Structure formats: structure tokens, C-alpha cells
Amino acid sequence: MKIAILGFGTVGSGVYDIIANGDTRMRVTAIFIRPTHPATMPEMTTDLDAILNDPTIDVIVETMGGLHPAHDYILQALQHDKHVVTANKAVVAKYLPEFTAVAAQHHVQFYFEATTGGGIPWIRNLERAARIDQIDTIEGIFNGTSNYILDQMQRAHLDFDPVLLAAKDMGYAEADPSADIDGEDVVNKLKISAALAYNMAPPRDVPTFGIRNVSKADIDFFASQHQVLRLIGKSKRDGDHYSMVVEPRLYSETALAANTFENFNLIRLHGQTIGDLQFYGQGAGKYPTANAIVQDLYDILENAPHLDRSFDQPLHFDANLNVTDYVLRADPMTFAMFNDRETEIVNDRETEIVNDRLVIKQIPTGDMHKLMRGVLAIDADAFMAAIGDSELAAKDVLHQRDQEVIG
């Protein structure tokens, strides 16, 4: 099987290394590079058309990242009857139904294991579960960069900025880390996972709040309450309704999520017959991600088809499907403003002040994110986190007794 790689950065070069030192049935015969990139290997070319029109090339591996020109390149490859394997989570999250349909029209495969979970075989096992089961929950730590930051802030007692700088130095974070710390990377992975699990096209907008505003004081306070903060993506299905959210969430220090350290991922699914399945491993990095790509290449080589999805289930997105407790840290004047104006979202809900933080009990997720958008308009440094699972009461965490009941 002859392979062309589009892009030769961290992941692309990792794929090349594994193939060059592995199964002789696979061989990289072309590497597409941009004109500004020096051609340092005989396989390198700036002529994409030559790759597309080469009848000997069976598979194109796209590792360029971003939406454009990756979208056009993937479509062209499929339309030229080439199988495509990609690690590009952003383009897959947005165009998955289109890519799948075009691949089917041209009798080729479009595989994307490496988009979600890095080296964890998450997509493959999610597909296997969805073949025979109705998946009703997807939840977990999908982003190694944010997990590394939160883990180091707690265990090494560091502030956000120096940990972010260390993450960049170690290659965990990009020069612009926005997608990781603001949750967009998790949104893309959650969209891909939910699309497969529920056989539907994912929503355009997902309630999202990242970790950019978390402070050492926040982390220290949570630790004093035996709680650990993680950035979590979660989707839940109930009948023909489903929810998706990306947000910081507090876990008991004995929970598996709390003990997922460094840049590791922990992703869970729940099916009606299989119950809970959890997957743990390296969520990013050169060789874990490249390994997932090569696994897809083996599936093509050995004619091992993946789950066939049409993404046409008529499900309804409901941001308020989940109800849970939240802790909100903001300027005290913000709290006073909400009381004075009797803000509709907070009204009629039980609330407490705990160590200058507002705990809002049993509030729908969509309403809380709407509230947070208003808070940020007043206090740009404010921070919030969900507390435990929806069925857990706030009394199980943040349980200091010097609380002032204001609700």
C-alpha cells in the first residue's frame, strides 16, 4: 500500500517514522509540503495534483491541521478515489457527514481515529459499542494540555502562567494555546464522538467555558475541600434529546478523573447493555497520535471496515438537559448586582456563599452558561466550575459551615 502524507510537522513525521521502520506492506512514496518548506527528502513535493493523479497512491494521510485548505484537500483526495486518514479534529468535527458521504460515493474509506484521544483507541471502541448498543453518555478528559496545566497547578502549587509556559516548552501547548485552554479542542472531539454515538450531525454551538481564568487561589481552595478540577467534555442522550457541554468540573480527590495526571486523557462511555467503559492513555503527542493514524492504515490494508453512519438521526439539542450544582468566583459586587436585580436565572434557586464564592444549586447547564456570559461582561476574570455529577448535592463538596445562605 502506497501512502502520501500531506504536511510534515510533528504528526506527519511521526507517521513516516513508524511506517519506515514497520510493516513492509506500507510505504510512503510522497510527502506534500508547502512551497516555503525546504525539500529535504526525495519523497517531498509541492505538487498536490501530482499526488492526486498518481494511480499508484492508495491512501492520503492529512496532518496539516486547520479547516482550510484541509477541507478542500480531503475532498479532492476522496474524489480521486483515494482513501483518507486524518488527525485533523477541527475539519472532521465540522465536515464529518460530508466526508463520509463523499467517501461512500467513491467506494473509499475515510478514517479519523487520531482526531480524538491521541493514542487511545477511543473512536474504534466507541464504534464497536454503538454497533449493538444505545450510547447515552460520553464524558471525560479529552485534552492533555489543559489537564497538564490543572494537574501541575494543584500538585506543584504553581500559578497558571508559568505552567502554561512549561506546557509550551514541553510541546504540549501551541504558541497560541487558545483552543486548548478555552475548550475548543474538547468541543471538536466531543462533537466527533457524539456524532458517532448518536448517528447525528453535531450542533454548531456547544456551551463552552475553559480554564483561562482559573487562579492558584481557586485551585488551593478546591484542594482544601478535597476536590480536584478537570476540564471535561460531556454529552448525554435522553430519548430524542441530547446535550453537550465543555466546562471545568470538580471531582472528589479519590475519583479516577482526579487521578488522571500530566497530559493523560480519561474518556468514558455508557451504553444501555455494556454499562460503563473507560479509556485511559496518552491523549496527544507525536507518536501516540501517529500510532492511531497507522492503526487506521492497517484497517484499510486489511479491509477492516468501520461503523457505517449516515448522521441523519433527528435528535434535538437541549442545553438544559443536565442539572447540576456550580461554584462561581467573581467580584463581590457582581453577586450584589444579581441580588439587587433579582436575576431571573438565579432567582428561586438555593444559593450559598462559601469562602467568597457563590454556590448555585441544581441549575440547568444551559442557564448557568448563559449566566456566566453575563458575569464575564462585568468581571472578565470570573471563573466557574460544575460540582460533581448532576445527582450529587452540593453538601458533598464545598462543605464549610461558615456559609451565608442568600437564596
Q: Is 395 an active-site residue? A: no
Rounded to whole angstroms, the Cα distance separating 310 from 78 reads 17
Q: Cα angle vertex 45, ends 43, 49, to 5°?
A: 120
The SS3 of residue 346 is coil
Q: What is the DSSP letter of 323?
A: E
Q: Alpha carbon of 113 to those of 32, 151, 262, 290, 338: distances in Å? A: 21, 26, 22, 10, 45
**208 CB contacts (<8 Å, ≥6 apart)?**
182, 183, 184, 186, 187, 245, 246, 247, 369
The tally of CA atoms less than 13 A away on the side-chain side of residue 138 is: 32
Q: What is the DSSP letter of 201?
A: P
Rounded to whole angstroms, the Cα distance separating 274 from 286 reads 32
**127 CB contacts (<8 Å, ≥6 apart)?**
196, 306, 307
Q: Alpha carbon of 385 to those of 165, 256, 324, 390, 394: distances in Å? A: 23, 18, 10, 13, 12
Which one of 189, 191, 234, 236 is the catalytic residue? 189
Q: What are phi and psi of 398, to 5 degrees?
A: 50, 50
Q: Grid coordinates representing 139?
A: 464524558
Q: What is the DSSP string of 56-103?
A: T--EEEE---SSTTHHHHHHHHHHTT-EEEE--HHHHHHHHHHHHHHH
Q: What is the largest CA-CA distance in the chain?
A: 73
The SS3 of residue 3 is strand
Q: What is the DSSP letter of 330?
A: -
Rounded to whole angstroms, the Cα distance separating 36 from 244 reads 40
Is the Cβ–Cβ distance between 288 and 151 less than 8 Å?
no
Closest alpha carbon to 388 in 238, 252, 191, 297: 252
Active site residues: 189
